[in-house]
Chain A
């Protein structure tokens, strides 16, 4: 069975500071990995995905994530936080190759302060 662990349910950063949201996965086979963002009262929006091409994946809004197989990690980073980045972020894993359900972490709420 696949699972995802997100360390830190709440992260607070200053505007302009580095954003680092942690995600570790467990999977018996190499998975697909995703980061989604959720704004209040809205659905999930895909930030980026890893599907076995480059291990460093660039997404929307300046976010990127690096797949590290040895560490079973897929941490999300952004060099400089903006107030508009304040939201809930979810890491998710799915099986490769087929339309497959997503298994989500419990989420990390990002707060950006002035």
Chain B
């Protein structure tokens, strides 16, 4: 079956622009996670949804970052007034109850802020 998909795969934004990154989880997956992976680093947790409820947003680095999942399926991560330090790969993962909540990752969106 189809895996987790993310779009766009690459995004170049000028400093100060707003961007929106999309994640399509695996059908039926209740949980959805966003991670940020800086160059040469491991992914770092940003936020977590269970269905449409955002249960944990403790990893969002500033109030410029906002995520939503209004119908409990597709999720969008929005970054307002982008800064150079926002340049990273943004990974989305989904999981379902059981199987130890194994997370399935999408290919990521590489954001470059110039």
Contact = CB atoms under 8 A, between A and B. Distances in A.
A94 B107 CA distance: 21
A82 interface: no
A45 B105 contact: yes
A73 B42 CA distance: 18
Given A43-B4, A44-B91, A49-B100, A99 B30 contact: yes
B107 A107 contact: no
A98 interface: yes
Interface in B60-114: 91, 93, 95, 97, 100-108, 110
Contacts of A34: 102
A99 B40 CA distance: 26
B73 to A, nearest CB: 16
Nearest to B34: A101
Contact of B97 (A41, A45, A99): A99
Contacts of A42: 107-108
Contacts, number: 60
Contact of B101 (A98, A103, A105): A98
Interface string A74-114: 00000000000000001010100011111111110000000
A107 B106 contact: no
Interface residues of B, number: 29
Interface string B9-50: 000000000000000000000110101000011111100101
B30 to A, nearest CB: 7
Interface in A47-93: 49, 51, 90, 92
28 contacts: A34-B102, A36-B105, A41-B107, A42-B108, A43-B106, A43-B107, A43-B108, A44-B91, A44-B93, A45-B105, A46-B102, A46-B103, A46-B104, A51-B100, A90-B42, A92-B42, A94-B101, A99-B97, A99-B101, A101-B59, A102-B33, A102-B35, A102-B43, A104-B43, A104-B44, A106-B42, A107-B40, A107-B42
